Structure 1
């Protein structure tokens, strides 16, 4: 436990420095830092960061900070304060991401009627404009349907539209002349990320560190699924040494995208261990942080 807290503390300190270095991403980086301080056993420090983001940034970032603050206060047993913050947030026009975060927290607490209210807020834009394109991939919509079922409510028009959309896409995939292989992706394990940067195996991620790397990988997988109309991937935890050995044995460049793709498919074909992505919301995050997926790479703020 002590090692994990010390690691979280180091990550939080590094993120604080990056927030200064990259002011355009300040709020997002600070929210990650606050989560690490909470993991390090310093919740008061995390709360101060949330207060700072709320005071200085405004808009959606401030609402994400408020949602995270409510969640932390609840975990600390300060439920009266959490409920006051929740009531105050509810009086604003809340963006979908923060609303979804609050809804999931309330669902986890068994406050299902309140959770449904917040899932409705998270899906308000779909209801307003008919957003068919988002019906298949919107996590808040799945949460809304899940809570409605738990409350014993019949499927409504939005539930049915989402289900019809899923069925249509599944039918298209089944009718494809050449069935595509299962969607797959790969990522460097946390202990190898720094070396992957040093070997030039990661491109385009700024700053060059593990939190930014895993955030970019998560976003890339989401974009790929959105484009393909899919909802699941099998992902391969990759070690730098294994990729380098694979490339050397075949006279290939390990930095080349095709080499990475061939390595992925060959290893899967050999029966290498893969992970299901995305994991369940309350399951450990795929990135190896030790946090729940919904509080880590799966948080609305990290998408």
Structure 2
């Protein structure tokens, strides 16, 4: 049976020694339900290979992914090209790495996601100062355009990434930083009127599925599925111009108690939404996204950049 993107995620969550060849074989044997997923499968294989410390093979997989994205004209090639730059840098090929990053620079003023993937890649390579300079230049270009929804989305991504990097570089607050902070404050306040996101921590996820097995079709069959789906959805919403999300941890006993008091079927989305609103009323929740080096929102105690952040890709 052809593999879907969900199948690829499940394979990638297994033993890397068997997952990598299985992912590559799916691409080479045309075993994907959607041929456009070839780049994604190769990027998953590259990530697993890199985690095992095998940088040259990881780079080769990323380069194959870039070619796959080119064949289907997929915008996701930007993330793959940024990862290529990171790997080149880690291999000591600094000139090639900077050339790869420079080729992506024009996308900062065109693609909402570019501000994130390019800035993060430069930071990982110790080039935070260059990232700040490029984001500032792109922001000036975007703000010179007529006001449109597209311009607002681009500008917000550039502002927020620039603000984050300037904090890490300990640069003094400037006018753009103040503007970025005002936007985040506004969106955080707005979030209290319906922008909260409920999730199940690992232990609670297991309890939820034990009590309501049919929830596997709603939240995923594994905890890794659940948090990966949330991270991807939050990233898409952010790139569409939304921001200021706050994460609220649900509890199986809490949902059961809510149903006992208010009635209804937990499988009903409106019932779960009512429980989620109750969680919002009882606490501010955790801001999403956390800082790259902060503890991940999912409660794993790992750094966000090493835990759920890669799952948005």
The TM-score with structure 2 as length reference comes to: 0.64
Say which of 109, 132, 140 aligns to 1:116: 132
The structural deviation recorded for 1:28 is 3.2
Q: CA RMSD in A?
A: 4.8
Q: Deviations over 1:123-171 (max 9, x none)?
A: 4773353556337852x32222344574757735x5565456557x379
Q: Deviations over 1:231-266 (max 9, x none)?
A: 14032155xx54774477455322112222333355
1:66 equivalenced with 2:81 (yes/no) = yes
Relative distance call for 1:262 and 1:28 in structure 2 (3 A) is same
Relative distance call for 1:122 and 1:214 in structure 2 (3 A) is farther
Whole-angstrom CA distance in 2 between matches of 1:279 and 1:73: 27
Alignment check: 8 A CA contact 1:67 1:101 kept: yes
Whole-angstrom CA distance in 2 between matches of 1:6 and 1:43: 20
The structural deviation recorded for 1:69 is 2.5
1:145 maps to 163
The structural deviation recorded for 1:56 is 2.4
2:117 maps to 101
Alignment check: 8 A CA contact 2:69 2:76 kept: yes
1:302 maps to 312
Q: Deviations over 1:270-295 (max 9, x none)?
A: 78x96442211223433467764345
- Worse-matched range after superposition: 121-130 or 248-257: 121-130
Say which of 293, 307, 310 aligns to 1:282: 293
Relative distance call for 1:122 and 1:159 in structure 2 (3 A) is same
1:9 maps to 16
The structural deviation recorded for 1:186 is 1.6
Q: Deviations over 1:9-50 (max 9, x none)?
A: 279457667772333333234323422332344444432320
Say which of 11, 16, 22 aligns to 2:34: 22
Whole-angstrom CA distance in 1 between matches of 2:46 and 2:19: 7
Relative distance call for 1:40 and 1:255 in structure 2 (3 A) is farther
Q: Between Structure 1 and Structure 2, how many residues are aligned? A: 283
Alignment check: 8 A CA contact 1:100 1:118 kept: no
The structural deviation recorded for 1:225 is 7.1
Equivalent runs, 1:256-267 vs 2, <5 Å: 256-266=268-278
SS in 1 for 2:42: helix
Q: Is there any run of 5+ residues in structure 1 with no aligned partner, and where?
A: 174-178
Whole-angstrom CA distance in 1 between matches of 2:286 and 2:192: 19
Relative distance call for 1:42 and 1:22 in structure 2 (3 A) is farther
Whole-angstrom CA distance in 1 between matches of 2:63 and 2:239: 34
SS in 2 for 1:119: helix
Relative distance call for 1:35 and 1:289 in structure 2 (3 A) is farther
1:48 maps to 60
1:31 equivalenced with 2:39 (yes/no) = no
Whole-angstrom CA distance in 1 between matches of 2:294 and 2:131: 20
Relative distance call for 1:50 and 1:114 in structure 2 (3 A) is same
1:176 maps to none
Alignment check: 8 A CA contact 2:245 2:288 kept: yes
1:126 maps to 142
